[in-house]
């Protein structure tokens, strides 16, 4: 009997767009249960030096509302990835290929798979475009 795989992925998912939908749908195709770690506002401020446009509660609610997503949690630290993978009993970690190689260190606890990013779209590109168009 085939064991139903549990998938985990992480992201900010700020100004939610088609690239986010694509990777979440592809991740879900790998298994039966998709858990998504949505990075906290504080983590974003420490990583990017600015808060996200949408706050963490809204970003979690948007991601959780997707048909392909079974569960969301708040990712509070990049250093806790191994702990989250174990806590959510994940068989496969999925990330976009902008993170290629960065999470190979977890291949002893789960399979690590990188998917190519959707071309031509990113949150920072949208923010810049909107700022230009409405300035
Ligand atoms: N993504 C994609 N195609 C795009 C944009 C994003 O496939 N055009 C993917 C990214 O590769 C990532 C996911 O969508 O796997 C979420 O992207 P971001 O919200 O930009 O996530 P990031 O800020 O990189 O946070 O612990 C890791 C971090 O939480 C990842």
pLDDT of residue 3: 77
* pTM of the complete model: 0.96
Read off the tokens for 31: 């298994």
Contact 59, 24 (CB under 8 A): no
Which neighbouring-strand residues pair with 75?
A: 39
Read off the tokens for 94: 């999925």
- How many whole angstroms from 3 Cα to the centroid of ligand 1? 28
pLDDT of residue 106: 97
Quote the number of domains for the chain: 1
Closest CA to 32 of 11, 56, 59, 1: 1
pLDDT of residue 93: 98
Report if residue 1 sits inside a domain.
Answer: no
Block residue for tokens 């997503």: 69
Contact 122, 48 (CB under 8 A): no
Read off the tokens for 82: 């191994």
- How many whole angstroms from 11 Cα to the centroid of ligand 1? 5
The span from the CA of 73 to the CA of 28, in Å, is 16
Residues 6+ apart with CB under 8 A from 100: 114
Assign residue 128 the CATH number of its domain.
3.40.50.620
DSSP for 47-67? HHSS--SS-HHHHHHHHHTST
Report if residue 34 sits inside a domain.
Answer: yes
> Which of 7, 11, 34, 62 should be mutated for ligand 1, with most atoms under 8 A from CB?
11
- How many whole angstroms from 96 Cα to the centroid of ligand 1? 6
pLDDT of residue 30: 97
Q: What is the pLDDT along the chain (135 residues), one digit of tens a residue?
A: 667 999 999 999 999 999 999 999 999 999 999 999 999 999 999 998 999 999 999 999 999 999 999 999 999 999 999 999 999 999 999 999 999 999 999 999 999 999 999 999 999 999 999 999 998
Report if residue 29 sits inside a domain.
Answer: yes
Can you give the residue range of the structural domain that contains 41? 6-133
């Amino acid at each position: 009997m085939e064991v139903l795989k549990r998938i985990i992925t992480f992201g900010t998912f700020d100004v939610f767009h088609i690239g986010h939908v694509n990777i979440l749908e592809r991740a879900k195709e790998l298994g039966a249960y998709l858990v998504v770690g949505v990075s906290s506002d504080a983590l974003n401020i420490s990583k990017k030096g600015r808060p996200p446009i949408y706050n963490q509660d809204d970003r979690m609610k948007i991601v959780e509302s997707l048909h392909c997503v079974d569960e969301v949690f708040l990712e509070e630290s990049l250093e806790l990835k191994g702990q989250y993978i174990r806590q959510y009993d994940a068989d496969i970690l999925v990330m976009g290929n902008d993170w290629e190689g960065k999470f190979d260190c977890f291949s002893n606890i789960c399979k690590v798979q990188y998917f190519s990013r959707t071309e031509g779209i990113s949150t920072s590109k949208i923010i810049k475009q909107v700022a230009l168009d409405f300035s």
